[in-house]
Amino acid sequence: MTKKKTFPTYETKVFECTIVVDPATGKKRISIDHERFYLHELSKFKLGEKVLMKITNKKRKRSMAQNSYMHLYFSLIALSSGHTAKEIKSWAKGKFLSKGITEVFGDKVRKVDETSELTIGEMMEFVDRVEAHTGIPAPDPEPFNLGITNSEYQELKAKQAEKYSQTIMIKHDPLSSWW
């Protein structure tokens, strides 16, 4: 009888943090940037489980799941605002990712970062800022953490669209004064 080998299963969770000075001790410490995400991910570990902490200053780019989530959210905002998802994305990038204005061939042009260049934390902050400005709640991100198929994404989008078609923008039309 041969004994089956068992392989440990590892789960890596990444949290963006900032090094700060603890006012009580005057020493450096870590401050979690997105407490809600941290607590959500931390809840997946077992109590008493040994973990390994790795600290690096390398910033991870936003994930494809975050990109899908952002596009779903913009399409939901479009249902509530009367604008297209593409217009919402252009507005949000101009409003929150603008890096100033330059002149090209005598025309003033806004310099805007691409969402593909955002880190995971910056992407979360970007969606949070859009949510705060529009008053339209972002959908539950959990399905996007699981890695969903295109058909599951379309089904989720249809369900969310039904819910959000009833939502009216709480604040002013954000596109009316986006420049």
pLDDT for the residue numbered 93 = 92
Selection from 5-14, 19-28, 31-40, 61-70 with the highest mean pLDDT: 19-28
Say what percent of the chain tops pLDDT 90.
Answer: 13
Let me know whether 117 and 156 are in one domain. Answer: yes
Let me know whether 42 and 72 are in one domain. Answer: no
Given a cut of 70, is residue 135 above it in pLDDT? Answer: yes
pLDDT tens sequence across 154-168: 777 777 777 766 665
Let me know whether 170 and 102 are in one domain. Answer: yes
Let me know whether 53 and 83 are in one domain. Answer: no
pTM for the full predicted model: 0.53
pLDDT tens sequence across 57-70: 777 788 788 888 89
Kindly state the average pLDDT of the residues 19-29: 91
Look at residues 166, 110, 104 and name the one whose alpha carbon lies nearest to residue 136: 166
